[in-house]
Amino acid sequence: MKYREIQIQYNSFQIQHKKPFGAVLKDQEIQFTLSVKHAMNPEVTFVVSKEGQGEQYLKMSSPEEGIFTASFSSPALGLCFYFFILNYDDHGMRRTVYLGAPTQGIGGEAVVRENRWELIPYQITVHNYQKSAPGWYKNAVFYQIFVDRFFNGEEHGKVRSPKKNSFLYATWDDSPMYIKDHQGNILRWDFFGGNLKGVLQKLDYLKSLGIGGIYLNPIFKARSNHKYDTGDYMKIDEMFGNEETFKTLLQEAEKRGIRIVLDGVFNHVGADSKYFNAFGSYETVGAAQSTDSPYYSWFNFFQYPHDYESWWGVKDLPNVNENDDSYKNFIVGRDGVIEKWSRMGIGGWRLDVADEMPDEFIEEIRRAIDAVSEDQVLIGEVWEDASNKIAYGKRRRYLLGDELHGTMNYPFKDGVIAYLNGHMRAKDLYMRFMSLKENYPSEALYSALNNLGTHDTRRILTELKDTRKLKVAVGLLLTFPGVPCIYYGDEAGMEGEADPFNRGPYPWGKESPEIFAIYQSMIELRKNHEALTSGEFIPFYQEEMFGYLRKTEEECHLILVNSKPEKVRTVLADVIGLENMSCDISAQFGEVHHLEPYSFTHRHIMLK
């Protein structure tokens, strides 16, 4: 980087400038090295602060002309922020400039600022993440199932236990819709009739696809079809089955090498629940019925009983107070919700809206899970970079070691879609993915639950509108670090705009053979190569080509992506991101690669 006549070199992605790379353990020493050439009498100060505390100013030593070094370690967990101050002589004047990150939360090559208030500091994540996610989880390909829309396992397709004041679709092929009033409130919930028997009957299909883990949308008793309005945490919803059916599902899934992760909705319940009981549907006295209810302290009422705190103002979803002792004990205490279902042998939990739950409560959930089995995983729904997420004015601590094993990787999904649709440059995608690699503890990156779509987003084929682009996206999903998760029906070619259209019924017997083959072949590729699961991740780019290596001591995989509608020529010796490779990638894979439009290119060599 050149500033006037001065040549400055600092890049947080490069080991010669920051060692070790990325997030560090508490008390682990970091070495910083900055190069300043063609400056008169330069002095460099390293400025660092633990978030919320004062800044430390360390004059960097100069072991040789133009080279400046400093070291730092943090005794406390959390985020630290740093930048550099460069002082130098310029025609009889002493000038000062500031060197920091290109943008918030994104590392890489330093940017020079003449004004301190324009400076953006670099981030250091200091963690104690030493208990890794279970091996079965990190090695699995996951499959998300919205139970009501997957498959009806009852004889002749009979719908189990239809709910009062609801409607059933005439055929499995119908399109989903909502019946709402003028204020947007749902008047009658709609059901297709999918159930746990249906999941049970399709286990062999999932096994043949290569699935090793199932993430089920909520299955506990609730009024809606999505079940995020929990009515009773201790019961399976009658439309889905019962506890015996669920136990059988767990047992049969395990026989096929598949573990099941449940959706834990612990930030809010349903207004129609035994705990709130706004409609008198339950025999228990709910908080909305009496201030003497044993559940009254779980909720925050503004004006009793009709005005209360709810999730994003949705009155059907009253928020719970996670700091209430009786509520916490119900969820994480002895014989509580976590213990009951975890003891059945589930694979773990996915926490809904984790960013709206206190860190301390998530820690208690993690401890409750670990007390039952350390072979269960805890994943959180977080839509942004989880290392620096701020929610309700507080920096979150999801990935520091005591809370989540990993988070849902929406930044991956958003980056892939933006890049393939021409809304993000290859350089920006590279910066985004390198910053996730830099900001996350390594175990958290490799435990992220990657997706191309969920029940909360448009279907991936709807986003991309092109099978060639879809093939690229699936290739990235199945070769990227972390755990890939396929939203039910994506492999069949399902399309759908936002809710409810992204939650249509699985088109059994009407799948797209072309799209199914894309998913099947990429899953098989991942399962056949350990490097695509645990290998080092080294991204790079050249103009609008994005690529990466996945590498172990035994093998190396080269991924090249062309997001353009025309052919692209890539010269490996000229790409940005492989400058520090100890081996000659061009000699191993060939120097020049001609990439077809909208293409995913994979090459593989054995190193031993």
For the question of residue 381 being annotated catalytic, the response is yes
Buried b (16+ CB within 10 A) or exposed e, 267-282: bbbbbbbbbbbbeebb
Cβ neighbors of 124 (< 8 A, separation 6 or more) are: 23, 24, 30, 48, 74, 79, 80, 81, 82
**Is the distance from CB of 419 to CB of 563 less than 8 angstroms?**
yes
Report the alpha-carbon distance of residue 205 to residue 199 in Å, rounded. Answer: 10
Pair type for strands 213-216 and 142-145: parallel
Cβ neighbors of 200 (< 8 A, separation 6 or more) are: 153, 245, 248, 249, 252
Report the alpha-carbon distance of residue 222 to residue 224 in Å, rounded. Answer: 6
What is the 3-class SS of 294-335, one letter each residue? CCHHHCCEEECCCEECEHHHCCCCEECCCCCHHHHHHHHCCC
Report the alpha-carbon distance of residue 498 to residue 287 in Å, rounded. Answer: 33
Please name the residue that has the structure tokens 């003891």: 343
Catalytic-labelled residue, pool 381, 385, 438, 443:
381
Q: SS3 for 503?
A: helix
CA-closest candidate to residue 297, choices 327, 334, 330, 333: 327
Report the alpha-carbon distance of residue 145 to residue 198 in Å, rounded. Answer: 11
Please name the residue that has the structure tokens 């209360």: 308
DSSP 321-375: -TT-HHHHHHHHSTTSHHHHHHTTT--EEEETTGGGS-HHHHHHHHHHHHHH-TT
Report the alpha-carbon distance of residue 399 to residue 260 in Å, rounded. Answer: 22
Is the alpha carbon torsion for 566, 567, 569, 572 positive or negative? positive
Quick count: other Cβ atoms within 10 Å of Cβ 401? 20
Crossing angle for the helix pair 513-528 and 467-479, nearest 10 degrees?
A: 20
**Is the distance from CB of 420 to CB of 191 less than 8 angstroms?**
no
Q: Is the preceding omega at residue 500 within 30 degrees of 0, hence cis?
A: yes
Catalytic-labelled residue, pool 148, 352, 385, 438:
352
DSSP3 helix / strand / coil % (the chain, rounded to 5): 25, 30, 45
Quick count: other Cβ atoms within 10 Å of Cβ 96? 12
Report the alpha-carbon distance of residue 558 to residue 151 in Å, rounded. Answer: 38
For the question of residue 254 being annotated catalytic, the response is no
Token pair for 497: 């705009």
Q: Catalytic residues, which ones?
A: 352, 381
